[in-house]
Amino acid sequence: MPAPPKTGMMRINRPERIRPLKTADNTSGAGQMEADNKPADRLAGEETARSKPVGVLERRRFNADFKLDWHDEQEAHDGYQLKWVGKSYARLETGTAPDTVLIPNAQHNSAPENSAAENLFFTGDNLQMLKHLRSAYKGAVKMIYIDPPYNTGSDGFVYKDRFEFSDEQLKTMLGLSDEEVKRLHIINGRSSHSAWLSFMYPRLKIAKELLRDDGAIFISIDDNEQANLKLLCDEIFGEGNYIGDVIRKTKSATNDAGTGLNYQHEFVLIHAINCAQISIVGDKKDVSHYKNPDNDPAGAWVSDNPSARSGSENSRFEITNPYTGAVDLPPQGRYWAFAQATFENWVKSGKVKFREKILEGQRGFIVKKYLAELKSNYKLLDSLFGVDNRYMNQVATKELNALLTDGSFIYPKPVAFIKNLIASITPPPQKMGRRLLFLIFLPAVARPRRQLWSLMRKTAATAAIFYASLMSRLKPAAKQNAPAIRRLIKLRLSA
């Protein structure tokens, strides 16, 4: 098996804690995304071109956009919309530039095995990472997968913001009253629904900018914020671009929450940029049962069901077998799935074949369904595919426990489940057209690197993947499990 592509590694730091970012002439071995376009160069060029922190032009551009949004809100203030404390500030945060720089991991990137890196692995604040990627990869990403905090009350989520603007600036820029500014500060350090929505809004808004016209975002969530997330994504991506949700079984054990309901699942919400341009698929169809016993020039075929649930009385005509004289009518309450003229044409073309001998329970004819007539080689994606036990949390936990001894990752995602999500949106190589970029937030996925790359080799051999990780998830185990953590990262980077 060919070795997986190398992966460049970068850290996102605040300016006061970092050294100057290296320019495009010195990329420390970060690898190529395209033949003439290295990913680190692409990002470095954007950062070195911006000599000012949140520049005047950037601020003005945001204000113009915000006024349009405010006008739209005023126009529809009596209509159906999602409101929460901090929404206007979340919009402001979306429009600001990053106040960090990217620091290549020189030691890792200069290693011979990583000298031609095709992937990027980031550690640090994911909102800052998204802002860095926004200019360099706008409209370039095929799929984004996010595993955000669920805001369960026990997952450690709190909304923290430094609020770099003064109260007077917030009142002027956002049109807030003193009371509204006070309420905005209250959500800081909290885990309320408003705090969670304020956390998610800028990340999803920027994620939308990164997606291609035929791209989609997949977001894992449980029932604590599922309803709010659906409304938020409908607002950002458009309700008409909601594809649906996939159910994943998380556990099999009984958990009595006092409601009488044993809650065993969570959701993956799927939204597209444009539903008309995207195709979600399931497993590849098994076509081994298509045969051509009569050497039909049209190719391999199977017997098709000739009846339909709906139709007109004109579709209930008699069909007489010329060999035996047997007469067929559609079953009671059903209709032939074709008009009589169409049936006669099919007889002439060979699509309809009459039986010379009719066994008990058989019709006197066969309607052929040709392999060449298949509209797709793939099944529909079953929204319940994730209820299989192999996708439960414990599957990923067992693999992670081999690396980490203190259970730092509470709810890891099984790699097989993520593979299926990726495969559902990845076209076969001959139809891929252009390079696919995947942005995947994986706080905890068991041994993803080798297996995910194996999938990419089979479905889209030139695809490049972004891995984004919040290292804060690793900090509690940093001292005791430092060797294991380094091994985990190595698995992600080099299989």
- Distance between start and end Cα atoms, the chain: 12
Instruction: Quickly list DSSP for 80-123.
Output: -----TTHHHHHHHHHSPPS-EEEE-HHHHTSGGGTT--EEEEE
Regarding whether 233 and 306 lie in a shared domain, the answer is: no
Q: Give residue 439's pLDDT.
A: 82
Answer for the pair 67, 59: CB distance below 8 angstroms, yes or no. no
Residue 447 to residues 71, 484, 492, Cα–Cα distance (Å): 48, 12, 7
Is 152 a member of any domain? yes
Residue 290 in any domain: the answer is no
* Burial of residue 431 (number of CB atoms within 10 Å: 0-12, 13-18, 19+): exposed
In a domain? residue 289: no
Q: Cα dihedral sign for 109, 112, 115, 116?
A: negative
Q: Is the domain of 247 the same as that of 341?
A: no
Is 120 found in the same domain as 27? yes
**Coil, strand, or helix at residue 482?**
helix
Indicate if the alpha-carbon torsion angle 195, 200, 201, 206 is positive or negative.
Answer: positive
Classify residue 295: in a domain, yes or no: no
Average pLDDT of adjacent 10-residue blocks, the chain of 495 residues = 52 46 33 35 46 35 43 52 83 86 81 74 81 88 88 60 58 62 60 82 94 94 91 95 95 77 91 94 94 97 97 94 96 95 97 96 97 93 93 78 55 81 76 66 49 46 48 39 42 36
Taking CA atoms, 243 is separated from 115, 237, 246, 391, in Å, by 39, 11, 10, 21
Tell me: do 359 and 459 sit in the same domain: no
Question: What pLDDT score does 18 carry?
Answer: 33
pLDDT at 303: 97
Whether the CB-CB separation of 18 and 103 falls below 8 Å is answered with yes
Domain end position, chosen among 373, 397, 427: 373
End of a domain among 313, 347, 373? 373
Instruction: Compute how many other C-beta atoms are within 10 angstroms of the C-beta atom of residue 333.
Output: 7
Q: Do residues 367 and 399 share a domain?
A: no
In a domain, 294, yes or no: no
Is there a domain that residue 420 lies in?
Answer: yes
Same-domain pairing of 84 and 216:
yes
Q: Are residues 20 and 169 in the same domain?
A: yes
429 and 357, same structural domain? no
Q: Phi, psi at residue 27, to the nearest 5°?
A: -100, 5
Residue where the block lists tokens 């190595």: 490
Element spanning 8, H or E: strand 7-13
Q: Which residues of 302-321 are buried (b: 16+ CB within 10 A; e: fewer)?
A: eeeebbeeebeeebeeebeb
Q: Is residue 288 part of a domain?
A: no
pLDDT at 122: 77
Sign of the torsion angle spanned by Cα atoms 70, 75, 78, 79: negative
- How many CB atoms neighbour CB 410 within 10 A? 14
Residue 176: per-residue pLDDT? 58
In this structure, the answer to whether residues 366 and 412 fall within a common structural domain is no
Residues 172 and 33 in one domain: yes
| Ranges assigned E (strand) in 105-202 | 119-123, 141-146
| This model's pTM is above 0.75 | no
How many domains does one find in the chain? 2
**Which residue carries 């195709």 as its tokens?**
279
Contact 306, 334 (CB under 8 A): no
Range of the domain at 348: 301-373
Same domain, 244 and 334: no
474 lies in the same domain as 364: no
- CATH number, domain with residue 253: 3.40.50.150
Is 384 part of any domain?
no
Q: Which of 349, 373, 397 is the last residue of a domain?
A: 373
